[in-house]
């Protein structure tokens, strides 16, 4: 344990599964007190129990990111328990939609995806920044995607969400750069989460095709994404803000 994040309070939305779970576990191992805000109580509590079993500190707060009232309540409860938020990763998201061309895309689906993938990070940042301003600093990482930098066929809504999130990151970073708050986005390519393996079927032809879509011919691991988030939360990245960092095995270098 290097304790890069010792005694910091770190809020991770969607910190119960996939990339978010890896971030929760890694940050806890670096000494942070973890708050997982997520919908699913079962996996949320499992992740908390795992962190506690390793001697870390963590709590779960149930929150549905499509409901602004639940986001307000997530922060009320976090502040009630810990009094502050030093680090935040706005990570909850609805994943890549099935390939649906724009002219057939249901407007209600667009609105729902927009609310979870873009409005929720905005609402979370309002709370996070307010608390960080009162404390004199903090570091926010928004979980974007390679789709925040490029487009892919059949994923118009997700691409729009993530481009929006990168835009939100850059402008917000400029607003608070001289106030001690750093705000960055992480833009992963394909990451081998349980959901990814389930969607593609591990080692199936489709899975291999998705893997080999990345010039490095590998998928990311949730742990490696957590590594970048940890770096961006730590003081080692004290001059990094407003950046949308690709972590994608050279996918966007083409």
Partner 1 sequence: MEDKEFSGKVALVTGAATGIGRASAIKFAEKGAKIICSDVNEISGNKTVSEIIENGGLAHFIRADVSNGAEVKSLIDQIIKSHNRLDFAFNNAGIGLFDKQIDQCTEEDYDKVMNINSKGVWLCMKYEIPIMLEQQSGCIVNAASQAGLVGGAGLSIYAASKHAVVGFTQSAALEYGAKGIRINCVAPGIIDTQINQPFWDDHPELYEEWKSGVPMKRYGTADEVAEMVVWLCTKDASFVHGSTMPVDAGMLAR
Q: Give contact residues for partner 1 (rule: CB under 8 A).
A: 2, 169-171, 173-174, 177-178, 188-189, 191, 214-221, 224-225, 227-228, 230-231, 236-243, 245-254
Q: How far apart are CA 231 and CA 238, in angstroms?
A: 10
- Short-list 166, 72, 79, CA closest to 117: 166
Supply the minimum distance, in Å, between the C-beta of residue 173 and partner 1: 5
Supply the minimum distance, in Å, between the C-beta of residue 144 and partner 1: 13
Cβ atoms within 10 Å, residue 55: 9
Supply the minimum distance, in Å, between the C-beta of residue 177 and partner 1: 4
Span between the terminal Cα atoms of the chain, in Å? 37
Supply the minimum distance, in Å, between the C-beta of residue 106 and partner 1: 33
Phi, psi of 242 (to 5 degrees): 75, 10
The first and second tokens of residue 45, run together, are 């509590």
The whole-angstrom distance between residue 75's C-alpha and the CA centroid of its chain comes to 17
Long-range contacts, 50-55 (Cβ 8 Å, 24+): 50/25, 51/24, 51/25, 54/25, 54/28, 54/29
52/216 with CB nearer partner 1: 216
Supply the minimum distance, in Å, between the C-beta of residue 2 and partner 1: 8
Catalytic, 200? Answer: no
115/224 with CB nearer partner 1: 224
Q: Which of 50, 105, 158, 239 does the annotation list as catalytic?
A: 158
Q: How far apart are CA 110 and CA 183, in angstroms?
A: 26
- Helices (H), ranges, 120-235: 120-135, 156-176, 194-200, 205-212, 222-233
Residues labelled catalytic:
158
């Amino acid at each position: 344990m290097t304790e890069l994040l010792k005694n910091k309070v770190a809020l991770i939305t969607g910190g119960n599964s996939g990339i978010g779970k890896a971030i929760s576990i890694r940050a806890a191992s670096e000494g942070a007190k973890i708050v997982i805000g997520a919908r699913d109580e079962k996996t949320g509590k499992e992740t908390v129990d795992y962190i506690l079993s390793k001697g870390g500190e963590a709590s779960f707060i149930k929150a549905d990111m499509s409901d602004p009232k639940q986001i307000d309540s997530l922060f009320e409860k976090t502040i009630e328990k810990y009094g502050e938020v030093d680090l935040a990763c706005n990570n909850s998201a609805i994943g890549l939609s099935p390939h649906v061309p724009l002219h057939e895309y249901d407007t209600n689906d667009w609105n729902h995806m927009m609310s979870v993938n873009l409005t929720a990070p905005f609402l979370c940042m309002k709370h996070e920044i307010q608390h960080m301003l009162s404390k004199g600093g903090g570091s926010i990482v928004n979980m974007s995607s390679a789709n925040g930098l490029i487009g892919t066929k059949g994923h118009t809504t997700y691409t729009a969400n993530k481009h929006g999130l990168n835009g939100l990151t850059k402008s917000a970073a400029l607003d608070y750069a001289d106030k001690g708050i750093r705000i960055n986005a992480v833009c992963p390519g394909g990451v081998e989460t349980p959901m990814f393996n389930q969607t593609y079927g591990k080692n199936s032809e489709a899975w291999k095709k998705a893997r080999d879509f990345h010039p490095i011919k590998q998928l990311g691991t949730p742990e490696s994404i957590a590594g970048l988030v940890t770096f961006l939360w730590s003081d080692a990245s004290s001059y990094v803000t407003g950046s949308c960092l690709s972590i994608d095995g050279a996918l966007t270098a083409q």
